[in-house]
Amino acid sequence: MKFPNENQKITMVTGKGGVGKSAIAAAIAQNYANQGLKTLLVELGDQSYFEHVYGKKITYQPTEISRNFSISLWGGAESLREYVRYLIRVEKLVDLFFNNKVMKTFINAAPALKELAILGKVTSGIRRWGPPLEYDRLVVDGYSTGHFLALLKAPIGMSELIEFGPMGEQSRNISQVLSQPHLCEYIVVSLAEELPVTETIELSEDLYRITGQRAKIFTNKIYECDVPSEALAAASAHPFTDFLNEYLKRQKEQLHNLSARLPIEKTMPLLFTPVGRDVIDRLEMAMQ
């Protein structure tokens, strides 16, 4: 199926909580922007992490950070309200819709409706549906594993529930965008640790079942030791050296376990600096 704007591409970033997916998402977005591509980094949720990183207020409407690079914060309620506003086009009627007790109960009882509204917004630029979203690249700092899978399942479930009408049609169109590799790609971030590796493998399999796509795997916080192994072995009596040898051994084992199941697209370094703008800038440099 062809869509009106197939020049735009979506990058969805996810992974187990605590693996550094937000920093990776921001580094990817900055990298696109520095290539001259107009890029929007999208946070999902009600509170902004990047607000503290970049020192600017991040809201639903895009906030410009630098040339070609903006950030938005999209929640389910605001995305759903924008969808209804676009359909009705009369603000007072929109207010009546959302202030109605019955509708409030319905919306709160149907969480998939908010998930659908978010994905509708994410894919709206490609589908040319709703307010203009004129960017070359959308990088989505997605939810962690379980919530992210629930997000992707929302349009599938809705299209099965509502077979006919605009809601069913839009749900199928959203799923189509999310399943086409030239329009949407998936990046799963992992650490070289047992639980993140196990979850990454399972998440990648689930993503393939839902979208038919193979996710790209980024390993994060990988320590590259520049001390020769012979020197480490010679100093093995020191407690810190013993710790380092054990750490490097576990890291090597987990990277092997992961790469035996999934190809690793990129390996990002462990950075000994507080999380923030400097980390994102250095991760972006590592991608080049």
Instruction: Specify the higher pLDDT residue, 53 or 238.
Output: 53
Instruction: Specify the higher pLDDT residue, 222 or 234.
Output: 222
Percentage of the chain lying above the pLDDT 70 cut: 86
Q: Report the sign of the C-alpha dihedral through residues 107, 113, 119, 121, in that order.
A: negative
Instruction: Specify the higher pLDDT residue, 107 or 13.
Output: 13
- Structural domains in the chain, sorted by start: 9-226+264-287 (3.40.50.300)
Ranges of beta strands (E only) in the chain are 9-15, 39-44, 63-66, 69-74, 137-141, 184-190, 216-222, 264-269
Q: Tabulate helix, strand, coil % of the chain (nearest 5).
A: 55, 15, 30
Answer yes or no: is pLDDT of 181 > 90. Answer: yes
Q: How confident is the model at residue 100 (pLDDT cuts 50, 70, 90)?
A: low
3-class secondary-structure state, position 223: coil
pLDDT score, position 211: 96
Whether the Cβ atoms of residue 29 and residue 65 lie closer than 8 Å to each other: no
pLDDT score, position 50: 96
Measured between alpha carbons, how far is 142 from 33 in angstroms, rounded to an integer? 19
Q: What is the mean pLDDT of the chain?
A: 88
Tokens 């196990």, residue located = 198
Measured between alpha carbons, how far is 144 from 90 in angstroms, rounded to an integer? 36
Ranges of beta strands (E only) in 20-89 are 39-44, 63-66, 69-74
Measured between alpha carbons, how far is 186 from 209 in angstroms, rounded to an integer? 13
Whether the Cβ atoms of residue 141 and residue 21 lie closer than 8 Å to each other: yes
Sheet arrangement for strand 184-190: 63-66, 69-74, 39-44, 137-141, 9-15, 184-190, 216-222, 264-269
Q: How confident is the model at residue 106 (pLDDT cuts 50, 70, 90)?
A: low
Whether the Cβ atoms of residue 81 and residue 118 lie closer than 8 Å to each other: no
Please name the residues in contact with 108: beta carbons below 8 A apart, sequence gap of 6 or more: none
Least confident of 11-15, 30-34, 63-67, 236-240: 236-240
The single-letter DSSP state of residue 144 is P
Instruction: Specify the higher pLDDT residue, 263 or 161.
Output: 263
pLDDT score, position 82: 78
Q: Which two tokens stand for residue 172?
A: 């199928």
pLDDT score, position 58: 97
3-class secondary-structure state, position 248: helix
Measured between alpha carbons, how far is 24 from 280 in angstroms, rounded to an integer? 7
Whether the Cβ atoms of residue 140 and residue 182 lie closer than 8 Å to each other: no
Whether the Cβ atoms of residue 255 and residue 223 lie closer than 8 Å to each other: no
Q: Which residues are registered as beta bridge partners of 13? A: 141, 187
